[in-house]
Copies of this chain bind each other. A is one copy, B any other.
């Protein structure tokens, strides 16, 4: 089951590469030049996550956001950085500072989802 290259797929990947923040399905849809079906966008994004190209962030609103892994290689993924979710403009951006959170003995941590929500610089000033 090897992957095939399609226009929609590379367009989405390009979007995520260029974006300085994480995107949800809506954002991807509206930023694409051509119209791509909703399920297709979800499938593309999920495929990226599966392949480790992109990581999934659950926003403060419970929605899924996707961001290109910048410093991740195929071997080592570190999605251990916090995100800032602006409640006003809805931007979700990755903060650089990685962090480690201890769990009680016997627990097996797998994923980390850290979201600070509030107002980003722009929205904080315009209010």
Chain A residues engaging chain B, CB cutoff 8 angstroms:
58-64, 82, 84, 87, 95, 97, 99, 101-121, 124-125
Q: Are B107 and A121 in contact (CB under 8 A)?
A: yes
Residues of B within 8 A of A118 (CB): 103, 107-111
Closest chain B CB from A19 CB (angstroms): 17
Q: Are A110 and B106 in contact (CB under 8 A)?
A: no
Q: Are B82 and A107 in contact (CB under 8 A)?
A: no
Residues of B within 8 A of A120 (CB): 107
Residues of B within 8 A of A87 (CB): 110
Roughly how many angstroms separate A105 CA and B120 CA in the complex, as a whole number?
9
Residues A108 and B116 in contact in the complex (CB < 8 Å), given A62-B58, A97-B102: no
Roughly how many angstroms separate A84 CA and B103 CA in the complex, as a whole number?
8
Residues of B within 8 A of A117 (CB): 109-113
A-B complex: 8 closest residue pairs judged by Cβ atoms: A106-B121, A110-B118, A62-B62, A108-B119, A109-B118, A111-B117, A113-B115, A108-B124
